[in-house]
Amino acid sequence: MNLLGDSAWLSILIIIIGSIVVALLGAVFALLFRGIDRKLVAHMQGRIGPPIIQPFRDVRKLLIKETIVPDGAVSWLFNAAPIICLVVTIVLVLYIPVFGQRALLDGFGDSILILYLLIVPSLAFVAGGFASSSPYATVGAQREMVIMMSYEFSLALVIVAIAWRILPLTDADPFMLSTVAAYPIWKIVGPIGIVGAVILLFALLTVTPGEVSKVPFDIAEAETEIAGGILVEYSGRNLALFYLSDMLKAFVIVSLIVALFFPYNLSPVIGISASIPAAIVDGLFFLVKVFVIMFVSVMLIRTAMARFKISQASYIYLIAMTLISLVGLILIGVDLML
């Protein structure tokens, strides 16, 4: 007996194939953006830098190298942590609108679910660090936990503020990213709300380097202090999975910023209605938006600043950014009342 109809099986097949395609495209562009990031930062620092395709070479090299599990490590957790990290990061790509299209799993989860899923890769890093039995990795894992607890509140406030402003305008779930795209924050607020939205955007851009563990918030790795921290004992395939997860997570975070604040497509503006040309134009426009945000929130900051101490990073996120996000939330609320 066929418990599912033909349309249900077709939907499942589309989701499976679409998941593979989106995951592969996300990984390719994440690696490409990392290569561009390294090249541009090198030029801004007066260096030549590696070729843009270097991240692809790094992953290929790590995948064929031997995977070593250190003596004293909790081997099953040590090997499972990078797999969990990569799998959850790929799942995140499926919940976020990328390449100018609706999220593949749109309707199966909202931004609150994304907020929870964003914690899992960091927890996988922490678990892998503790499981490696290295004192350097243990210190790195402790630092990662402190940073993770510090920036999550600011991110949550940004999402709640946007949903709060959309709530009176529709019966749809205001936490759905498709709803956010239908009611862009810049079009539904007045002057006070625009100021609040700019403040929230600033807070989210500041959170981004911490989410992706880049200078000045790469305290959990800190090669000059703790020899790579969490990843000090990882090698071969396991290191490749963590390396790919790290780059894909950066792509996810920036894509989330695009979905929350800049959910616009270019094809309607320039009058392209044919589906395939419109998809190509919107996909390229999405990549441009991702690059611009990544340049501002990651590349410029890591070029201009030195690494913070853990106490400084925790203060910036837990106190300063939380208060700034609250100010943005209050301004959005005032705009709503007016």
Residues 269 and 265: their CA atoms lie apart, in Å, by: 8
pLDDT at site 5:
59
The pLDDT of residue 260 is 92
One pLDDT digit (tens) per residue for the chain, 338 residues: 455 556 777 777 877 888 888 888 888 988 998 888 888 888 887 788 888 899 899 888 888 888 888 877 888 888 888 999 999 999 999 999 988 888 888 877 788 889 888 888 888 888 888 888 788 778 777 777 777 777 788 888 899 999 998 988 888 888 999 899 889 998 988 888 899 999 999 988 888 887 777 666 666 666 655 666 677 788 888 888 988 888 898 899 999 999 999 998 888 888 887 788 888 888 899 999 998 998 888 787 777 766 666 677 777 777 788 888 888 888 888 888 87
Determine the pLDDT at residue 223: 62
Give the per-residue pLDDT at 1: 45
For the chain, give every domain's residue range.
6-337
Computed over its alpha carbons, how large is the radius of gyration of the chain? 21
What does the pLDDT read at residue 126?
84
- Does the global pTM surpass 0.85? yes
Q: Helix 6-44 crosses helix 236-261 at what angle (to 10 degrees)?
A: 100
